[in-house]
Amino acid sequence: MKNSKYFLVILLTLIGTSSLMFSQSNPFFEEWNTPFQTPPFTKIKNEHFLPALEEGIKQQRQELEQILKNSEEPNFNNTIGALERSGKLLSKVSRVFFNLSSANSNDEIQKVAEKITPELSKLNNDIYLNEKLYQKIKVVYENKDKLNLSVEENKLLEEYYKDFTRAGIGLSDEKKKRLREINEQLSSLQLKFGENLRKETNAIALVIDKAEDLDGLPESVIKAASELAEANGMKGKWAFNLQRPSWTPFLQYSNKRDLREIIYKAYINRGNNNNEFDNKDIIKKIIELRIEKAKLLGYETYAHYKLEKNMAKNPENVINFLNQLWLPALNQAKEEVIEMQNIIDREGGKFKLAGWDWWYYSEKVKKEKYDLDEEMLRPYFKMENVRQGAFDVATKLFGIKFIKRNDIEVYEDDVEVYEVVESNGDFVGILYTDYYPRAGKRAGAWMSYFRVQSNLDGEMIYPLVTNVGNFSKPTSDKPALLSFDDVNTLFHEFGHALNGLFARSTYPGSKRSSVDFVELPSQIMENWASHPDVLKMYALHYQTNEPMPDELINKIQNSQFFNKGFEQTEYLAASFLDMDWHLLTETPLIKVEEFENESLKKIGLIPEIASRYQSTNFNHIFGGDGYSAGYYGYSWAAVLDADAFEAFLETDLFNRKVANAFRKNILEKMGSDDPMELYKKFRGREPKVDALLKRLGFIK
C-alpha cells in the first residue's frame, strides 16, 4: 500500500488522542477520596455532568433489567431492596447537578438540564409503567403479612405499590403512551418556568442616578445598591434587583412613593412581562397537562390526585382548613389597613393605602406602637452570630456539635462547611451553608442533599445536607446583617437540615413525606429564634458584641402579633390560588391574570394586599410538582409546630427528654411511618389548632 506508512501514523495518532480522551477521567466515575466522600468541586467541570448523567441512566436501566430477569419468587429483598440499591451513580451525579442548577447555575448547566430532564422523565416512566416490575411488586405486596416486615419496610412497600398504581400502571398501552408524553412535557415546562423566574428575579428592576431619590433609605441599603450597580457596569449609580434583600428594604424605607410603586410592580409582575421570560403560556400548558393526567389516572382533579398521599387526604379538608384561618386573618389585616391609613391621613397624604405602601407604613406603625423598627434590630443579627445561635439551640436540645471544616471543597467561596457530631464525637453528617444571592441562584431559601442517608446491607451512608438562602450580603464596610424575617428563615431551613442530618432509616426511599408534615421540623425551629432566652444567646451587636438589651427584646415580644393579618392573608391567598388552579376540570378560557383575579376576588382579598405569589412567579407549584395543590402545607404544619412547641413550654425550653422524643419519633423517622402515627408517638395525642390561633393573636 503506497501510503501505508502515513496511514499508520494517522491511525496511531487517533488511537493516542482517543486514549488521552478517556484517560482524562470524569470525577463522577471515581471514588471520592475526600473527607467523608464529599463532592470534589474543584475537579467537577460542567462538561462532566452530561456523560455522567447519561451513564447513570444507563446503569440504572441495566440494574432494572437484572431485577426483571431474576427468576426467584419475588420477595422484599430481591424486589424492593433491589430497587433501593439501584441508581447509585445517577443519584451521586444528579444530587450535585441539580443542587448547582438551583444555587450556582449558568448557561452550560441549563443546557444540560434541558437535555437531561426529558431523559430522566423517560427513565421514571420506564420504571413506574413497567408491567413486569409491577407484577413482582404486587406479589410482594399481596404476601406482606407473611413476610415479617419492619414498620419502615412495610411503609416503603406500600409506597412503591401506590406509586405504581398512581403512575398509571393499570392503563391501556395507548393511555400509557400518552401519559409518558405528558410527564416528559411537564418536566421540561416546569424547568423552563423556574429558569424564566430566576432570570426575572435577578434582573435590575430600578436604577437611581440622583442622590435625592435615595431619601429615607438606610446607609447599608444605599451601600448595597451602589455595589450592585457597580457590579453591573453602572458605577456612580444605585441599582435594585428583585431579590428580597434588595427590594424589601426599599419598600420599607424609601420616601419616594412613585419609586416604591415601580419596584413593587416589578416584583409582582415577574414572569408576566410579555417578554422572552414570560410564564403565562407555560402555566396554561402545565395546567392543561395536569388536568389531562388526572383524568387519565381516574381522578376528579389534579388536586385529588396530589392530596391522596398527604395528611389532608382530599381538597375538601384543605379548603375547610384554610377557611378556618381565612376570616380571622382577613379581619386582622383590615384592622392593620385602618391603622396605616390613619397615619397617611394624619401626615396629610391625599391617597388611599396601596400595596406598594404596606411595608413603608407598617414600619411606621411598628415604630409608633412599639417604638421598634427593622434597622434597630439588624445590628444584632450578624449572619455568623445567627447561624451560631441556631447551632447552639441544636446543641442544647440534642447535644450535637458543629465543627467548621476548611478542608472540604465548596462550589463558591462564600459557601461554608460544618462537620456535625454527637456529644460523644460520633459522626452525624455534613452541613453546607450558602446564604448570599448570586446571579446563578434562584430566589428563596431551601434545604437539599448532596447525599441522602441510608443503611442498606449494614453500610451506613451519612447525609451531606445543604442550606441555601438569599440574605443581605456583606458590604465593603459591614458584615451581613439580617432582617428579623431573614433570621426566621435561617432557623426554618436549619430545621429542615436537622431533619436530614438526623434521618436514620435503612432505605433511601424512606425519606419521602407529605408536604403538610415535612414542614413541621423547619417551622418548629422558628419558635426558638424569637424566644427571649434564645435571643440573649445569639443577638449580639456586630460592633460591640454586647447582647441585645432587655428593652429591645421586650419590644420584640410586645410586637409579636404585629402584621400577622398581612402575613397570614398573603400566604392563605396563595394557598387558595394554588387549590383553584388544581381543582380545575378543564383549561380555563380566560387569561392567567383574569383567572387569578377571580380566585382572589372569590375569597375577598383586599386590594391593599397581593397574594404572596402571583401565578407567573409561583415557583412552588409551577417550577416543579412538589408543592402543587400543597402550598397549604405550611399552614397545616403550623398547627403541628405550634402544638409541638407547647410540649417544650409545658416543661422547659430545652427539655432533653422532649427533644429526644421529637428527634426519635419525628426527625429520625420522617417518611418511614404514617405522619399522624409519628406525631402521636411524640405528643401522645393528635394536634390541636388552638396553639396556632393563640400564637397568631387570633384568639386570646
Beta strands in 172-248 (DSSP E): 204-208, 238-241
Q: How far apart are CA 433 and CA 447, in angstroms?
A: 9
Sign of the C-alpha dihedral computed for residues 495, 497, 501 and 503 taken in this order:
positive
Determine contact, residues 488/526, Cβ cutoff 8 Å. yes
Q: How far apart are CA 572 and CA 587, in angstroms?
A: 23
Task: Give every strand in the sheet of 446-451, ordered side by side.
Answer: 401-404, 416-421, 427-434, 464-468, 446-451
Packing angle of the helix pair 564-582, 633-649 (nearest 10 deg): 140
Pairing type for strands 427-434 and 464-468 reads parallel
- The residue from 336, 375, 493, 570 that is catalytic is 493
Question: Which of 50, 57, 25 lies closest to 109, judged by CA?
Answer: 50
Question: Which of 255, 252, 220, 265 lies closest to 238, judged by CA?
Answer: 220
What count of Cα atoms within 13 Å lies in the side-chain half-sphere of residue 620? 22
**Residue 55 catalytic?**
no
Q: Rounding to the nearest 10 degrees, give the CA dihedral for residues 616, 619, 620, 625.
A: 90
Q: How far apart are CA 598 and CA 589, in angstroms?
A: 13
The residues with which 467 forms a beta bridge, in sequence order, are 433, 447
Sign of the C-alpha dihedral computed for residues 524, 529, 530 and 534 taken in this order:
positive
Non-local (6+) Cβ contacts of 468 within 8 A are: 102, 103, 434, 435, 441, 445, 446, 447, 448, 493
Burial of 146 (0-12, 13-18, 19+ CB in 10 A): exposed
The residues with which 403 forms a beta bridge, in sequence order, are 419
Residues 644, 649, 652: CA angle, nearest 5 degrees: 120
Burial 231-267 (b: 16+ CB within 10 A, else e): eeebeebbbbbbbbbbbbbbbbbbebeebbeebbebb
- Residue 426 in grid coordinates: 460520633
Q: Is 632 helix (H, G, I), strand (E, B) or coil?
A: coil
Determine contact, residues 478/542, Cβ cutoff 8 Å. yes
- Residue 209 in grid coordinates: 442616578
Residue type at position 578 = D
Burial of 348 (0-12, 13-18, 19+ CB in 10 A): exposed
Q: Given the C-alpha cell 384568639, which residue does it identify?
A: 699
Non-local (6+) Cβ contacts of 622 within 8 A are: 190, 193, 279, 282, 283, 286, 615, 628
Residue type at position 432 = Y
Instruction: Give alpha helix (H) positions in 311-370.
Output: 315-346, 358-370
> What is the chain's alpha carbon radius of gyration, rounded to the nearest angstrom?
27
Catalytic residues: 493
